[in-house]
Amino acid sequence: MTPTPVVLGPGDVPAVQELFLDDGGYCLRVHGHPPRPDQAERLFAALPPGKTAADKYVLGLREHDVLIAVLDLVRGYPKPEVAYVGLLQVAVRARGQGMGRCLHEHAVALATAWPEVERLRLSVVDANLSHASRFWEGLGYTPTGEQRPWHRGDGGTAWMSQWERTLLTAAP
């Protein structure tokens, strides 16, 4: 069966939470703690400054009715011509099978339909760089050279690198 990309909503919180529990250590690397019991609720509620729920899309990829990947996309952040990928997570059992790329392509198609959006942007927390850089490079992203502090959930601070790709350039 071919995986099906879907737009997720509040009714999908339990499935997203289950996916977060299968994170391969991501939450510990990035936030400094295992996934919290309300991690999925936080994903749906989190909005950057100046954005509303109408600007946020939580996309999922289902295989045999099981959620195997989730992607958070915010239209017009941090500038109107940018869509921000806040998270892309694939279940450990589904990694290395093109599922992250598949869901990302769905996000690219969505962002391409927004006439003001010219590029996609994301942040990679340095503690996750060795796990993520090759994947993002393979999708056409490059580091911008900009770094910002990341305030971890455990009270610590790390650095995150900003990455971008244009919507006009297809991923390799």
CATH superfamily of 4-166: Gcn5-related N-acetyltransferase (GNAT) (3.40.630.30)
Q: pLDDT, tens digit, for every residue of 62-73?
A: 999 899 999 999
Task: Say what the pTM is.
Answer: 0.91
Q: pLDDT, tens digit, for every residue of 39-91?
A: 999 999 999 999 999 999 999 999 998 999 999 999 999 999 999 999 999 99
pLDDT at 29 (0 to 100) = 85
Cross-strand bridge partners of residue 148:
160
> d(Cα 79, Cα 32) in Å, to the nearest integer?
29
Domain ranges for the chain: 4-166
> d(Cα 73, Cα 84) in Å, to the nearest integer?
6
